[in-house]
Amino acid sequence: MYYKNDPLFPKNFMWGASSSAWQVEGAVNEDGRTSAIIDINSKKKKPYTDNSITADHYHRYKEDVKLMAEAGFSSYRFSISWPRIYPDASGVPNQKGIEFYNNLINELKKYNIEPIVTLYHYDMPVWVDEMFNGWYDRGIIEKFDEYVRTCFREFGDRVKYWLSINEQNMQICYGEWLGVCKNKDTWFEDKWKVNHIMNLCHAKAVIACHELVEGGKIGPVPGYVPIYPYSANPEDQIAAMNAEELTEKVWNDLYAHRKYNGFIQSYWKENNINPGIQEGDMELIEQAKIDFFALNCYRSNTAKACDINEEPQEYLLNKSGVKGNLIFPKVPGLYQLTYNPFVEYTDWDWEIDPVAIRYMLRYVWDHYQLPMMITENGYGAYDKVSPDGKVHDPERIKFLRDQIYQMGLAIMDGCEVISYNLWSFTDLLSTGNGMAKRYGLVYINTTDEELLDLKRIPKDSYYWYSNLIKSNGRNW
Ligand code: BG6
């Protein structure tokens, strides 16, 4: 629908930003924390930096929270590091790790900033990985349950919004990149077994949250990339629906309807895949009623038909930051992705498409009728400190303005959206581009090549966002 006036946001709308533990904290060997798989994984991606320091939020969280408060934040989405809470298999939680998150939560509460907490954002403890071969062995379910229950007991008196597993769909779709896949040769079938175990962990977290946190609400965090058909060719429409199923809808249907949908059951049958469902599993999943969807959305994709006789092609993402360095996937008989002639692209070949966020919110609302919050949305770029000592990031401001405006239109369209948390508050470690690909509202003075003083420099986008949120979305 077209509206004559700018969109209006609900009175108690929560505005904030987002991060994850391994990308922002640093202090990887301090106060009892042991290694996570992502520490090792991110080191492999050198020449980019590893996560031993990143933004040093572990030591500077007070300064960071103060900057959030000055900007007028009403929410902050962050994650808890599993190896900080359980550094080993002893079953004894690490008090120093608990203390850090208590301090962070209390600091946020001091400024009336609502904590929105992710339980798992890619940082599985190495001891868990070794004991259970990552997510491959069902033994992980009990350990995950033990960890999340500790989080709920320790922090549930103050944290009321919980998120289960960050981008489970992306971890399965990009298993190798995110360190979940252990054997490329058998991943085609293994991924569904791994995914089922993750679903059981998600279900356990939902059940435990409702049991242990008074007034607690919990939801999943899909990484959402809306898929458009390339043309009005009906076959392209079906291809877009196939891509939507195999990258998003299968997960979202499971979370919301608590069963595997007909599409994936046919896909498994057609491909002789056994997803490893055991007696009692679906009864457990059935009990895990989510309260909302947390959505990470940066871009859109475009799909067209792919003949069954085409050669399959894996998705090779652009990790270099030089435009044109990606290879789109081909899934014969289902879909292939392609460039969209109607949108611009970032240096990493990510579609710059503000309408995607409106489309996504409309789609998720229409399918599931659950409240939604945005937990990631942002613009990664090579920012620099100018000779005037400031960081001018007009492209980020334009990106955010357009995206937030479209979110506002979705709200006007009737979608229930309760919070917006852009990625990211400070610059932090990117999944594949170290500190070079910066998303923050606040610049962190360091580089991949050289550790500098880590000074916080609010960028132009920080001031712009602050102005917008202090007016509850009136000052564009
Ligand atoms: C999201 C992840 O998918 O994308 C974040 O949840 C990640 O952890 C973000 O940092 C941006 O991706 P990248 O590769 O640019 O860091």
- Distance between start and end Cα atoms, the chain: 20
pLDDT at res. 75: 98
Q: How many domains does the chain have?
A: 1
Atom of ligand 1 at shortest distance to CA of 428?
10
Residues with CB under 6 A from ligand 1: 20, 23, 166-167, 170, 223, 296, 376, 380, 423, 430-432, 437
Give pLDDT tens digits for 13-40.
999 999 999 999 999 999 999 999 998 8
CATH number for position 432: 3.20.20.80
Q: What is residue 107's predicted lDDT score, i.e. its pLDDT? A: 98
Measuring from atom 16 of ligand 1, which residue has the nearest CA? 430
Other beta carbons within 10 Å of 291: 15
Sheet holding 372-376, edge to edge: 217-221, 161-166, 114-120, 75-79, 14-18, 417-423, 372-376, 293-296
Query: Residue 370 domain-assigned?
Result: yes
From ligand 1's centre to the CA of 431, what distance in Å? 6
Backbone φ and ψ of 464, nearest 5°: -60, -45
- Would residue 338 count as lying in a domain? no
The ipTM, to two decimals, is 0.99
Predicted confidence at residue 48, as pLDDT, reads 60
Which atom of ligand 1 sits closest to the CA of residue 298?
Answer: 4
107-146 in b/e form (b: 16+ CB < 10 A) is bbeeeebbbbbbbbbbbbbbbbbeebebbbebebbebbbe
Is 371 inside any structural domain? yes
Q: Is residue 315 part of a domain?
A: no
Ligand 1: distance of its center to the CA of 430 in Å? 6
Is 158 within the bounds of a domain? Answer: yes
Measured by CA distance, the residue closest to atom 5 of ligand 1 is 431
Residue 94 has pLDDT above 60, yes or no: yes
Residue 339 Cα to ligand 1 middle (Å): 21
| Enclosing H/E stretch for 279 | none
* Of the listed ranges 381-385, 395-399, 431-435, the one predicted with least confidence: 431-435
Residue 374 in contact with residue 411, Cβ under 8 Å? no
Q: Is residue 447 situated within a structural domain?
A: yes
CA-derived radius of gyration, the chain: 21
Atom of ligand 1 nearest to the CA of 223: 3
* C-alpha to C-alpha distance for 266 and 273, rounded to whole angstroms: 10
- Can you tell me whether residue 145 is helix, strand or coil? helix
Query: Is there a domain that residue 199 lies in?
Result: yes
* Tokens, residue 230: 């390339």
The answer to whether residue 198 sits within a structural domain is yes
Domain that holds residue 191: 14-225+288-298+346-470
The catalytic residue positions are 167, 376
Atom of ligand 1 nearest to the CA of 122: 8
Ligand 1 mean position to 188 CA, how many Å? 24
Question: H or E element: which one contains 114?
Answer: strand 114-120
Tokens of 378: 């942002």
3-state SS assignment for residue 204: helix
CA distance linking residue 47 with residue 41, whole number of Å: 13
Contact 411, 9 (CB under 8 A): yes
Residue 82 near residue 124 (C-beta atoms within 8 A): yes
| C-alpha 323 to ligand 1 mean position (Å) | 18
Structure token digits, residue 417 = 């959206």
pLDDT per residue as tens digits for the range 409-447: 999 999 999 999 999 999 999 988 889 999 999 999 999
Probe residue for ligand 1, chosen from 320, 345, 423, 437 as the CB with the greatest number of ligand atoms within 8 Å: 423
Q: Report the alpha-carbon angle 161-164-170, nearest 5.
A: 130
Angle subtended by helix axes 140-155 and 187-212, to nearest 10: 30
Nearest CA to ligand 1 atom 14: 431
Residue 47 has pLDDT above 90, yes or no: no
**Mean pLDDT for the stretch of residues 185-194:** 97
What is the average per-residue pLDDT within 147-159?
98
Ligand 1 test: best mutation among 295, 376, 427, 448, most atoms within 8 Å of CB?
376
3-state SS, residue 166? strand
